[in-house]
Amino acid sequence: MSRCFMLVLIIVLVFAVPACSSQGAELKSAIERAVMKTSEAQSYRAEGSSESITGSVKTFSTSFKTEVAAIDRIYSKTTGDSTWQEAVKDGERCYFREREGGPWRPCAEELEEGYYRMIAGVPKFETPIPGVFNLLAFIKNIQELGQEYVGGAQCTRYQMEIDRKAVSRELAMPESLPKWLSIVQIWIDEEDYIRRMDVKTGIPATAEHGETLMNSTIVFYDFGEDIEITLPEV
């Protein structure tokens, strides 16, 4: 399983909405409200990181930082073991560079849209929130775990499990892929903003590889703040 596939698997499956009992329906409704509220945020900052460990060896790590001043004014930077990219967008103007101090170039707007494309090294990016919420039908066993503070905001913490079989059917994953288990935790504040997401995914050992553990964390903050985005001089 490639590093890119594992990273996409972590991020693209972070959110989904469960179908459960009456109590589960209430929790589902709370998460749906938070997904809608957060995905419609006009300005915010987000930071995240992902890593994979196979056996006792770290196989990859990636981190990103995004600043959104408005829907069409965005700054984002992604770094990792084999990835470095910085991008700035203001309206129809978008520039990126692939190394520290390197030249800025126009983004390739004709490429497929999506935040995951940037992670894969393609010079095109958008805010991560819409991509994170693409799949909303694959989480089960949702639980409410109580109150905690995240970044100074009081939040309710939820835990849920990704329905692996449903995801495999939706994405037409080969039956030969190792079975995996993902546990998701979400922190939602009193204004229905998502403040933090954690995903822990375990893939059993195979004949070729030891057990793989993948961890991903994203934190969101500065909702509604006045954020400045400056285009580079090119």
Domain ranges of the chain: 3-221
Residue 166, CA distances (Å) to 181, 222, 233 in order: 12, 35, 47
pTM above 0.85, yes or no: no
Q: Is 208 exposed, middle or buried (0-12, 13-18, 19+ CB in 10 A)?
A: exposed
Given this model, what pLDDT does residue 164 score? Answer: 76
Q: How far apart are the first and last CA of the chain?
A: 39
Higher pLDDT, 126 or 81: 81
pLDDT in tens, 38-85: 888 889 999 988 888 888 788 888 888 999 998 888 998 988 888 888
The structure tokens 């196979």 sit at 54
Reduced to 3 states (helix: H, G, I; strand: E, B; else coil), residue 16 is: coil
Per residue in 131-160, pLDDT (tens digit) is 556 555 577 888 999 999 999 999 999 998
Distance in angstroms (rounded) separating the CA atoms of residues 213 and 194: 24
Mean pLDDT, the chain, rounded, equals 77
Token pair 């470095």 is found at 84
For position 16, what pLDDT does the model report? 35
H-type alpha helices, the chain: 3-12, 22-39, 115-119, 128-132, 164-171
**By percentage, how much of the chain surpasses pLDDT 70?**
75
| 95 pLDDT higher than 50 | yes
Retrieve residue 211's tokens.
């057990």
Q: How far apart are CA 209 and CA 189, in angstroms?
A: 40
Fold category of 3-221 in CATH? outer membrane lipoprotein receptor (LolB), chain A (2.50.20)
The C-alpha atoms of residue 48 and residue 11 are separated, in whole angstroms, by 10
pLDDT of residue 157: 96
